[in-house]
Structure 1
Amino acid sequence: MLKRRTLNTALASAALALFVPHAALAQGANPARLRVALLPDENASTLIQNAQPLKQYLERTLKKEVEIVVTTDYSSMIEAMRFGRIEVAYFGPFSYVLAKSKAPDIEPFAVGVERGSPTYQSVLIATAGGPVAKLDDVRGKPFGFGDQASTSSHLAPRAHLLKKVGLDGEKDYRPVHLGTHDAVARAVQAGQVPAGALSKPILDNLVKRGTVDASKIVQLDLTAAIPNYPIVVQGKLAPELKQAIKKAFLEMNDKEVLKSFRVESFAATDDRAYDVLRDTAGVLKLDLARMK
């Protein structure tokens, strides 16, 4: 287990690296050091600590130094990819769509497989014994979402509320953005917001770890299937390096390494798999070009 000081140093270094001017960070098409970014959907220290087996696997497989990066939020991760400050990233489905709209050269190549499927669901939850017992009860109340660019903690459940019970977040309830999936679960558990939404696999993991008490929340509903989180690479990297990176992820079979992603394996994917999220953004009348 990493010491707190080591984790804090790693976080500070990663944050500093992301905001150094782009010219100073240019490493060429085959850099000696690969920066691999993980989506900031939970506490950054926990993510970096849990990703140490991943770091060791990639360094051993690719014969390169690897730096694990966790940005402050989804938008800073998108910008880091856009300006070449990271080479590989594990995006949420919708944050990938946003990143692709700003950085057309990036390439999704692998998608997480859970329970034999490359899809997952968002779960809408409420405080046990609270004022929300069914979806209709959300009307007129606060509703907890994660980051604005989150698929399963914003886009999918927001569209679900609109399509399933006609609740529009612009007028029928009050969206409260809490940043991360675990923050949503804790806020609903404590009754700070009466209901909210997050990734079902993340909620299951939080309950398993004891971070969330399952008896203090109730499940309201599940969204339709969502294409899982993609692994994305900078398109301008040398072809042989891109191929090696893709091979490393698609052939990954170590359970300790895969635990970093909460998946059992990776399967090949491409940009077309995420068109469904572009369609969902259209239902919600979201302008991708204007979103951070």
Structure 2
Amino acid sequence: MIGRKVRKLVSGWLRLAVLSTVTLVVVVACTGNPEGESEVRELKFGVGPYFPTPSETRNQFEPLFQKMAASVNADADVTVTQDWVGISEALRSGTLDVAWLGPWGFVLAQHAEPSLEAIATVKYQGNPYYYSLLMTRADAPYNTLEEAIAYSQNQEQLKLSLADVGSTSGWLIPTAEFKQRNIDPKQVFDYNEGASHAAQAISVISNQTDIASDYNRNLDVLASTGKIDRSEIKIIWQSERLPNDPIAIRGGLPEKVKTGLRQAATNLSTEEAKDLLPENYTGFAASDGSNYKPIRQAGKLVGKLQ
């Protein structure tokens, strides 16, 4: 009698153990595995201050992010930051999953967190590159950077405005150019940094500064939207070709999500690009990040990377 009771009790324990194990397996199957191969229901996208206001930037980039998210059956949560340092730090820290970064922001973020990946480089007017610029007023008594340096050293000190330190074209590349010339811009000019790209050309035209950094794509936008008259400024220096902005993703995203996002960007047709991207952006070229080597070299030159 007692033996039967013991056997019955043990049998009950076994059934309970089996049921618990099955339940645990089902829960794990539904919630994903440690390698992150589960489906992602929402992706956090970010973009920096491309346009004069955050709402303009959001309106320009949100359609693309929604399409990319939909390609992997996810929703898109979009953040617009106020500076280029902020967007790269958010991706590095994992606050964002995907970001449209400036080249320097990507290099900085990947230097701090090597698991970050570039999956595509945007094309502008069909090309995956752009230029950093230094501009002044059209009637300025100098036409080249060499002449501007001499003028500021020997006649009247000129006001120089560089963009925020997270900007490729607005800070890194001009700073590297001065470094190559063995010029300290803080000594030669009445120096200021930290401006937004949207304000640079306007500050030159309105006589708030004499020389300002920018990039060709931004000047095109400002001119096409009537915010500046290109005839009021002149370019006194232009960089070599620079790789355009990357779409970058944080480490740890499931492989199928990375693949889906990469394909969504690089398979974008020219016609789709007209609907989903700002004016003159014509799609994406595939990237593994190696095309950003010139940006890394500039970062080392100015002492920001080891």
CA distance in structure 2 between the aligned counterparts of 1:264 and 1:109, rounded to whole angstroms:
16
CA-to-partner distance for each residue in 1:213-255, whole Å, 9 max, x for gaps?
A: 1122112121111111111011201111111111111111213
TM-score normalized by the length of structure 2: 0.78
Specify the alignment match of 1:54 in structure 2.
64
Specify the alignment match of 1:231 in structure 2.
247
- Cα separation, partners in 2 of 1:108 and 1:261, compared to 1, 3 Å: farther
The partner residue of 1:279 within 278, 285, 297 is: 297
CA distance in structure 1 between the aligned counterparts of 2:143 and 2:207, rounded to whole angstroms:
13
Indicate conservation of the 8 Å contact 2:122/2:244, yes or no.
yes
Indicate conservation of the 8 Å contact 2:125/2:280, yes or no.
no
Q: Structure 1, unaligned stretches of length 5 or more?
A: 1-27
In structure 2, give the amino acid aligned to 1:54. Answer: L
Indicate conservation of the 8 Å contact 1:128/1:218, yes or no.
yes
CA distance in structure 1 between the aligned counterparts of 2:279 and 2:125, rounded to whole angstroms:
13
Specify the alignment match of 1:17 in structure 2.
none
The partner residue of 1:112 within 106, 122, 135 is: 122
- Cα separation, partners in 2 of 1:213 and 1:137, compared to 1, 3 Å: same
- Pick which of 105-114 and 260-269 moved more: 260-269
- SS of equivalent residue, structure 1 residue 247: helix
List aligned pairs for 1:1-292, cutoff 5 A: 30-42=39-51, 43-130=53-140, 132-135=142-145, 136-138=147-149, 139=152, 140-163=157-180, 166-253=182-269, 254-260=272-278, 262-284=280-302, 286-288=303-305
What is the aligned-residue identity percentage? Answer: 26
In structure 1, give the amino acid aligned to 2:110. Answer: K
CA distance in structure 2 between the aligned counterparts of 1:265 and 1:256, rounded to whole angstroms:
9
In structure 2, give the amino acid aligned to 1:105. Answer: S
CA distance in structure 1 between the aligned counterparts of 2:279 and 2:246, rounded to whole angstroms:
10
- Cα separation, partners in 2 of 1:112 and 1:236, compared to 1, 3 Å: same
- SS of equivalent residue, structure 1 residue 288: coil
1:170 Cα deviation from its structure 2 partner? 3.8
In structure 2, give the amino acid aligned to 1:35. Answer: K
In structure 2, give the amino acid aligned to 1:137. Answer: A
- Pick which of 218-227 and 134-143 moved more: 134-143
- Cα separation, partners in 2 of 1:56 and 1:238, compared to 1, 3 Å: closer
Indicate conservation of the 8 Å contact 1:40/1:74, yes or no.
yes
CA distance in structure 2 between the aligned counterparts of 1:261 and 1:88, rounded to whole angstroms:
22
1:95 Cα deviation from its structure 2 partner? 0.9
Give the total of aligned pairs.
260
CA RMSD of aligned residues (A): 2.1
- SS of equivalent residue, structure 1 residue 57: helix
Superposition misfits of 4+ residues, deviation over 4 angstroms = none
CA distance in structure 1 between the aligned counterparts of 2:228 and 2:290, rounded to whole angstroms:
35
- Pick which of 198-207 and 176-185 moved more: 176-185
1:157 Cα deviation from its structure 2 partner? 2.1
In structure 1, give the amino acid aligned to 2:248. Answer: V
CA distance in structure 1 between the aligned counterparts of 2:191 and 2:166, rounded to whole angstroms:
14
- SS of equivalent residue, structure 1 residue 37: strand
Indicate conservation of the 8 Å contact 1:132/1:194, yes or no.
no
Indicate conservation of the 8 Å contact 2:163/2:171, yes or no.
yes
1:59 Cα deviation from its structure 2 partner? 4.3
1:261 Cα deviation from its structure 2 partner? 8.0
CA distance in structure 1 between the aligned counterparts of 2:275 and 2:111, rounded to whole angstroms:
30
Specify the alignment match of 1:13 in structure 2.
none
CA distance in structure 2 between the aligned counterparts of 1:166 and 1:41, rounded to whole angstroms:
31
1:258 Cα deviation from its structure 2 partner? 4.5
CA distance in structure 2 between the aligned counterparts of 1:260 and 1:68, rounded to whole angstroms:
16
CA-to-partner distance for each residue in 1:116-172, whole Å, 9 max, x for gaps?
A: 322111121102224554313243322111111111111112223444x55322422
